[in-house]
Structure 1
Amino acid sequence: MKSSVMCTMISDIMNNRPNECSKEPRQKVKVDRQILAIAISNKAKLIISNDKGLLNAARYLVEQQFKIQAVDVSEITVPVETQSTLF
C-alpha cells in the first residue's frame, strides 16, 4: 500500500514535467515509476541502472526533495585487486 501511495505521488510530480510521457512508451514510464516508488517507500538510498529513463526520473525526483541517488552502471568501478580474481 505504501508503494502505491508513493507511486501516485511520483506520478503527480512527473506529470508536471514537460514532455515526460511523450519520450517513452506509456508502459515503460509506468514501470519506471513503480520501481522508483517501491525503492523510495522502502527507504532505498541508491538506484543503480543502465536505463536512462529511470535514472533521469530518479534524478528529477532528487530535485523534488526525494532522498535517493541515481547511478549509472558505467559509473561504478570495480577495484583492480577484485578484478584479477573474477575469472
Structure 2
Amino acid sequence: MTSLHSGRRPERCSPHTNPFQRAGGRLHRALLADRPETRATLLVEPDNEFARGAYSRWGYRPIGELRPGWEHSPTYLAMLSTTL
C-alpha cells in the first residue's frame, strides 16, 4: 500500500482502489468554486447509477427528465444543486 500526499491530506492507494477515483469531485468543485451563481444543473443518463450516485453526494437532486429536440435523442435525468 502506498500513501500519496497531495498537500492537503494523505490519500491511500492500494490494488483495490483507484487513485483517480475522486478526481471528478475535485474537478467539479474547482470548476464551480469561484462562480457567482447559486444553482447548478446537469444532465445524466438515467441508468448511469455511478454518476447519479456521485452527483447526489455532491448535493444534486433529480428535478425531472429532459429529451432534446433532435431525432433519436436520448432522455436525460435533469439534476439541480443549490449548495454551491
Q: TM-score range by the shorter chain?
A: 0.3 to 0.5
Q: TM-score, normalised by structure 1?
A: 0.35
Between Structure 1 and Structure 2, the one with more strand by share is: 2
Using the size of structure 2 for normalisation, the TM-score is 0.35
Higher radius of gyration, 1 or 2: 2
